[in-house]
Chains A and B, each alone.
Chain A
Amino acid sequence: MSNVKVLGVGNLIRQDEGLGIHLLQALQNKLPPVTPSGLELLDGGTGGLVLLDYVESADKLLILDAVAAGRKPGEIVIWQEEEIPYFIASKMTAHQVGLAEVLHWAKFRGKYPQEIVVVGIQPKCLDWGTELSEEVRNSLPAALEEVLNILKKWGVKL
């Protein structure tokens, strides 16, 4: 089986900005105590370039993140391949070396994973705080289902 990595990113102290990490934790709670072989999970937090190694060493990469997709708050968005913006774009982005730039680097260096999927949720509130908005919280179970389906499709034995 190919090597599957799940990367949750976001900031836990900016409410919905941290939804990727909340989703990652929900996934971890769903998994057996010993993570299935070939699967790896990482809380990438607010990391930038330090995530490059993790991204480049994946065959299949699943990214969990808050996405500014212009949808209704709480709406789940799934992107694949060319839909994934590989360069930093958003004015809401405070980190200049963010995840999008890391993906760009991996591509430039010829170490892009065979397959990348982003499971994102449109955030509602990015204010200071540790609680998710109600809309995003209500969407987590459905987003988790999507995550599990993708992992199953990739051959992870859950």
Chain B
Amino acid sequence: MATKRIVIDPVTRIEGHLRVEAVVEGNKITDAISSGTIFRGLEIILQNRDPRDAWAFAQRICGVCTHVHALASIRAVEDALQITIPKNANLIRNIMSATQDIQDHAVHFYHLHGFDWIDVVSALKADPAQTSAIAMSISKWPLSSTSYFTEIQNKIKKLVESGQLGIFANAYWGHPAYKLPPEVNLLGVAHYLEALNWQKEIVKIHAVFGGKNPHPNYTVGGVPSAINLHSHGVINMERLNLVKSKIDEAKTFIEQVLIPDILAIAGFYKNELWGGGIRNYMSYGDYPQTSINEPDSFLVPRGVVLDGDLTRVYEVDLKDPEQIQEFVDHSWFRYDNPDAGLHPWDGKTEPQYDGPKPPYQYLDENKGYSWSKSPRWQGKPMEVGPLARFVVAYAKGDEEIRHLVDSALQKLDLPLEALFSTLGRTLARALETQHRVNLLEKFYKDLISNIKAGDTATFNNEKWNPETWPAEAQGVGFCEAPRGSLGHWVKIKDGKIANYQAVVPTTWNASPRDAKKQLGAYEASIIDTPLANPEQPLEVLRTIHSFDPCIACACHLLDPQGHELNVVKAY
């Protein structure tokens, strides 16, 4: 059968620059490559700096999860220097992480991924009275009247009639792969707008504990938040009450809007269960109840599940040089021994571009084709992220996760196997917000009772002075970021950073193939996807977006001339 190669570059509604090339036979994808087309050189900039400053640089890797890179960085330095943190600091960090997860997941679902499932233009055909009836049947959320949905519909109408779709431009409206009736599409658009309002409230929690948002403040040895319930200008009862009110709002939004929406939408797509990909899942684990050095206390468990086999969970050791390694066979980097993998402590970031000269038509998968390296666990490619965390927790018998998964699948009348799909990935991310808001409530309660018991410590200064440090030390810091397992590895020599390597979630997921020709998670997940219209590869975007890509990036400039948009081109 004749094959053709389609190119999506850049993939839009993600963080950073990603290119996907897919080989199509008839209406099915038979091969795919994923290429990170921007170079991330953070490691180079950190050499020889004070390790206590590294977080402030690391958090600028990305503009979306400004929390997680800072957290992984301070944890790496604390691990290297064997610094323990006070109980309040651990709780506040957990609150920051859960807040990040919730905000990021909701923004991803409504503002980055939603329009892969929701057809905005179709919403114009909806009967607002029916939308209202549907809304009331799935939730007690108060914004559900006919007049409310009519108003939303008029807003969209005005935008479409103006011919300036703006944020709604460049999509495949009317594509046959959209399955929702107009009334549900209208509901989706209404909640898209509401989510915009709500997401700016939840991040106020970051501003309370981190002093500001975006890019809150952190410190090695604890958190930079002084606590005094009865004082001004510090974390006091008024500030803590604000946090509590934001947690309550988040819980209501998640339970009355986000979860009912995802279940309603998934119901219309439940027969489309492709996109599972490699089915190897990894979680470093996070949310320690005691200390990050005690994985048994993690409320998001650690482990690896291979080939979708839930009967066995493998241990993960981030310090074992044989377990996590990065390969560069198909990347634009240079190693002394190009075929060997390097553990991040001994990792190298030496760019060596040998790709085609831009502008080019196709990349060559037999050579280097990405700025992303190929990380492997025990030589195997892994998927990381909400689905991976859910699969590992489910396999480990985590009761809360099992309940969340089982009850959602029961409502959808789907088997457990259905999780291993594009839809399953999106479902897991939504359900994870419920898990995290429950954690938020718990950590908040623990924090209040600890403070009321008289413990206001948030910082351990015992090893703040570099004179207390060993001449040489190495550490690893990790967390479960919204997009998956994030690790920072640091080597410290004479008080300065001697080597620094970050292996970010998207490096795992967007990884190019390796010397053994094992595909990365994106690549494998696209294969076998049927396309309703190969000229408009909506189904590919849906699967790629289901991973919530973040091609760790970070520059933005205003451009006065180019009203040319970042178009999704399919050749």
With both beta carbons as reference points, the residue of chain B lying nearest to A14 in the complex is identified as B555
**In whole angstroms, what is the CA distance A49 to B42 when docked?**
24
Interface centre among A65, A96, A105, A123 (most CB of B within 10 A): A96
CB-CB < 8 A to A97: which residues of B?
Answer: 64, 107, 111-112
Contact partner, B200, options A53, A98, A99, A104, Cβ 8 Å: A53
Number of B positions contacting A (CB below 8 A): 48
Please state if A13 and B57 are interface contacts (CB–CB under 8 Å). Answer: yes
CB-CB < 8 A to A130: which residues of B?
Answer: 45
* A104/B167 contact (C-beta < 8 A), A47-B214, A130-B45 known: yes
CB-CB < 8 A to A104: which residues of B?
Answer: 166-167
CB-CB < 8 A to B551: which residues of A?
Answer: 94
CB of A44 within 8 Å of the partner chain: yes
Contact partner, A90, options B12, B38, B193, B559, Cβ 8 Å: B559
CB of B453 within 8 Å of the partner chain: no
Please state if A89 and B563 are interface contacts (CB–CB under 8 Å). Answer: yes
CB-CB < 8 A to A45: which residues of B?
Answer: 60, 63, 66, 214-215
Chain B 1-37, CB within 8 Å of chain A: the 1/0 string?
0000000000011111100000000000000000000
CB of A129 within 8 Å of the partner chain: yes
CB of B213 within 8 Å of the partner chain: yes
CB of A144 within 8 Å of the partner chain: no
Please state if A47 and B215 are interface contacts (CB–CB under 8 Å). Answer: yes
CB-CB < 8 A to B554: which residues of A?
Answer: 11, 13-14, 17, 46, 94-95
Interface centre among A85, A97, A105 (most CB of B within 10 A): A97
With both beta carbons as reference points, the residue of chain A lying nearest to B203 in the complex is identified as A50
* A90/B562 contact (C-beta < 8 A), A49-B111, A128-B42 known: yes
With both beta carbons as reference points, the residue of chain B lying nearest to A66 in the complex is identified as B557
Chain B 180-215, CB within 8 Å of chain A: the 1/0 string?
000000000000010010011001000000001111
Please state if A95 and B63 are interface contacts (CB–CB under 8 Å). Answer: yes
* B118-142 contacts to A (CB < 8 Å): none
CB-CB < 8 A to B167: which residues of A?
Answer: 87, 101, 104-105, 108
Contact partner, B559, options A44, A50, A89, Cβ 8 Å: A89
What's the minimum C-beta distance from B218 to chain A, rounded to whole angstroms? 14
* A108/B166 contact (C-beta < 8 A), A49-B199, A53-B200 known: yes
Contact partner, B63, options A47, A67, A92, Cβ 8 Å: A47
Please state if B212 and A87 are interface contacts (CB–CB under 8 Å). Answer: no
Chain A 107-141, CB within 8 Å of chain B: the 1/0 string?
01100000000101001001011100000000000
**In whole angstroms, what is the CA distance A14 to B552 when docked?**
13
What's the minimum C-beta distance from B380 to chain A, rounded to whole angstroms? 30
Please state if A46 and B563 are interface contacts (CB–CB under 8 Å). Answer: no
CB of B387 within 8 Å of the partner chain: no
**In whole angstroms, what is the CA distance A128 to B566 when docked?**
24
* A59-86 contacts to B (CB < 8 Å): 65-70, 77, 79, 83-86
What's the minimum C-beta distance from A58 to chain B, rounded to whole angstroms? 14
With A47-B213, A104-B166 known, 7 other A-B pairs at CB within 8 A are A17-B555, A46-B215, A52-B196, A89-B561, A93-B556, A96-B112, A108-B155
Residue numbers of A with Cβ under 8 A of B are 9-14, 17, 42-53, 65-70, 77, 79, 83-101, 104-105, 108-109, 118, 120, 123, 126, 128-130
What are 13 inter-chain pairs, A to B, with CB distance below 8 A?
A: A9-B556, A13-B57, A14-B555, A45-B66, A50-B203, A67-B559, A85-B560, A89-B559, A92-B559, A94-B551, A99-B556, A108-B166, A120-B558
